[in-house]
């Protein structure tokens, strides 16, 4: 495979940060094209999306959840405060979505 910068490995193309690797449906589609299987189960897609929002809050906001991200997490109680892993686990379990 080649890119603007020259040749690269398939793995780098699959997960390049500018090509949607954090979108579960995109990754499933790419892996299906190459490996004929989808690595992310349908019932895990929303949890993975939530994890990306939490990761974003931790990496870019010091764990502080903005109102917009709290809406995306479907939990305004997290708005304008710092998120901890336990907050999300408790929230996840209270919804009956399984163990975190």
pLDDT for res 75: 87
Interacting residues of 56 by C-beta distance below 8 A, sequence separation 6+: 69
Per-residue pLDDT of the chain (100 residues; tens, 9 = 90+): 444 555 556 666 666 655 677 788 988 998 898 899 999 999 999 999 888 888 888 888 888 899 999 999 998 888 888 876 555 544 544 444 444 3
Structure tokens at 87: 């907050």
3 state DSSP class of 64: strand
CA 96 to centroid of chain Cα atoms: 20
Q: How much is the pLDDT for 55?
A: 87
Among 46, 61, 66, 57, CA closest to 85: 57
Domain boundaries, the chain: 2-35, 42-94
Q: Of 48, 60, 56, give the one whose Cα is nearest residue 92.
A: 48
Q: Rounded to the nearest 5 degrees, what angle is found at the Cα of 67, between the Cα atoms of 62 and 72? A: 95
pLDDT at 85: 58
């Amino acid at each position: 495979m080649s890119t603007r910068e020259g040749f690269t490995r398939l793995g780098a193309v699959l997960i390049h940060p500018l090509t949607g690797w954090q979108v579960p449906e995109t990754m499933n589609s790419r892996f299906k094209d190459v490996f004929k299987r989808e690595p992310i189960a349908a019932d895990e897609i929303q949890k993975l999306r939530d994890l990306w929002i939490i990761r974003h809050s931790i990496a870019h906001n010091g764990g502080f959840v903005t109102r917009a991200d709290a809406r995306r997490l479907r939990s305004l109680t997290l708005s304008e405060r710092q998120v901890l892993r336990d907050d999300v686990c408790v929230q996840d379990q209270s919804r009956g979505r399984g163990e975190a």
